[in-house]
Amino acid sequence: MTVTAHIDISTAKGRKIVRELEKNKKIVVVDNPLPVGEDGLPIKTYSPEEVENLVWDKLSDHYGVDVRKL
């Protein structure tokens, strides 16, 4: 038998429950689905490298020079 539970990890009690479940790796599988938007499609996520490049590009546009070379 498989049980699916939705646990709100934004609360301390929810995080505690998930930590306790994760201790039983042989019988518990924790699935973290991608967040979905109001339209039901997955929300676009960015890697840290992509975010860094976006920040550098924004700064370069703002100051009018390539700040990576300064």
Q: Is-contact 30 18, C-beta < 8 A?
A: yes
Q: What is the predicted pLDDT for the residue at 1?
A: 85
pTM confidence score: 0.47
Q: What is the predicted pLDDT for the residue at 49?
A: 95
Q: Is-contact 67 59, C-beta < 8 A?
A: yes
pLDDT tens digit string along 5-62? 899 888 999 999 999 999 998 999 888 777 778 887 888 888 999 999 999 999 999 9
pLDDT tens digit string along 12-25? 999 999 999 999 98
Q: Is-contact 43 35, C-beta < 8 A?
A: yes
Q: What is the predicted pLDDT for the residue at 38?
A: 83
